[in-house]
A and B are shown apart, each in its own frame.
Chain A
Amino acid sequence: MIINPFSLERKTILVTGASSGIGKAIAIECSKMGATVVITGRNEQRLNETYMQLVGNGHIKIIADLKVENELVELINRLPEIDGLVNVAGILKTLPFQFINRLDLMNLFDVNFFGPVFLSQKIIKARKLNKGSSVVFISSIDGPMTAHIGNSMYSASKGAICAMVKNMALDLAGKKIRVNCVLPGMVETPLIFNKEITKEQLDADMRLYPLKRYGKPEEIAYAVIYLLSDASNWVTGTNLLIDGGYTIS
C-alpha cells in the first residue's frame, strides 16, 4: 500500500467562497484528494455548479452570507465536525487612497477580515473543529508583501489577516490546531477582471511575473491541500507564497 502524506482521505473540510474562483478550485481539488467537502457561498446557482463538480460522495452545500449573523449561526448549526477550514470568501474594491471612504473600507473588512475571523472562532467555540485540524486563510501578496495602485483597502484587510493568523497559531497550538496563510499573486479569477482595470493593464502586469503569466486557481488549491494534509503537521503560523516569482523580481 502506498501512503500519500498529502491525502485528505477521512478528513472533512469546510471551504467558504466556494461558488467561484479560488474557493471553487479548492473545493474540487480537495474532493479529488479524498476529502469530504462542505461548501458554502452566497449564490445558490453557482454553489450548485461547484457541488456538481465535486468528486466522491457525502459532500454538503450550505448557502450562507457570512456577514448575516443568523445565516452564520445556521451554517455552524448544520456543520458536521471538521478537520479543516479554508477561508476563501473575499471581495476587492479599487480606489486611490484619496478617495477611500469608511463605508467601502468597513464593507471590505466585514467580508475579508471579520467574516473569516469570527467564522473560525465560532466553529472552535462550537467544538466542531477536531483536534489536529488545520485552518487556512487566503491572504494575498498585496498587504503582507507588496502594494498596487488603488488597492490600499484590500491590502489592509489582507495584512490584518496575516497578523491574525500568526497569533491564532500561537493561541490554538494547545488544541493542536494549525493555522496558516496562503499568499497568492494574481490568479485568473472573476475577482481580478473588474471594470476599473483594462485588459491592456492586466497584460502589462502579467509581464512583471518571471513565469510570464498569472496563476491558475488549482495552483492555489494545491498549496492549500498541502497545508490541510498531514504532510504539513509541523507547519503553523506561516505564510506560503505562491506568486510565479513576482516578489523576487
Chain B
Amino acid sequence: MKMDINDFIKNFASQFEDTESIDFTAETHFKELNEWSSLTSLVIIAMVDEEYGVKIKGDDFRNSTTIKDLFEILKSRL
C-alpha cells in the first residue's frame, strides 16, 4: 500500500464533525483540538485498523504530538 501523509490527514480529518478540514495539517497538535476526546481516540484507532490494517494503541497517542508523529508510528508498523 502506498503510504501518503496527505491521505492520512484526510482520513484523520474526516473522523471529526466540528473541526474544519483546513485545520488539519501534518503539524496539527491533534490532542489540543477541542473535539479531541476518549471517543475520538477510539475512532482514530478503529479508522487506522480499517483503512491501513494497523493496530495502534491508546499509548501511541500519548507518545505523539502532531498528526505526522502518528503517521510515522503507523508507517513503522506496516
Q: A residues touching B (Cβ–Cβ < 8 Å)?
A: 94-96, 98-99, 149-150, 195-198, 200-201
Q: B residues touching A (Cβ–Cβ < 8 Å)?
A: 38-39, 42-43, 45-47, 49-50, 55, 57-59, 61-62
Given known A-B contacts A96-B43, A99-B43, A149-B42, A196 and B58 have beta carbons under 8 A apart = yes
Give which listed residue, B39, B50, B55, contacts A150 with CB less than 8 A.
B39
Question: Are B39 and A195 in touch, CB under 8 angstroms?
Answer: no
Q: Which B residues lie within 8 Å of A98 (CB)?
A: 43, 46
Count of A-B contacts with CB under 8 A?
A: 36
Question: Are B58 and A197 in touch, CB under 8 angstroms?
Answer: yes
Main secondary structure of the interface of B (DSSP, over half): helix
A165: min CB distance to chain B, Å: 30
Q: Which A residues lie within 8 Å of B46 (CB)?
A: 95-96, 98-99
Q: Which A residues lie within 8 Å of B50 (CB)?
A: 99
For the complex, give the distance between the alpha carbons of A94 and B43 in Å. 10
For the complex, give the distance between the alpha carbons of A200 and B37 in Å. 12
Give which listed residue, A95, A96, A149, A195, contacts B57 with CB less than 8 A.
A195
Question: Are B57 and A150 in touch, CB under 8 angstroms?
Answer: no
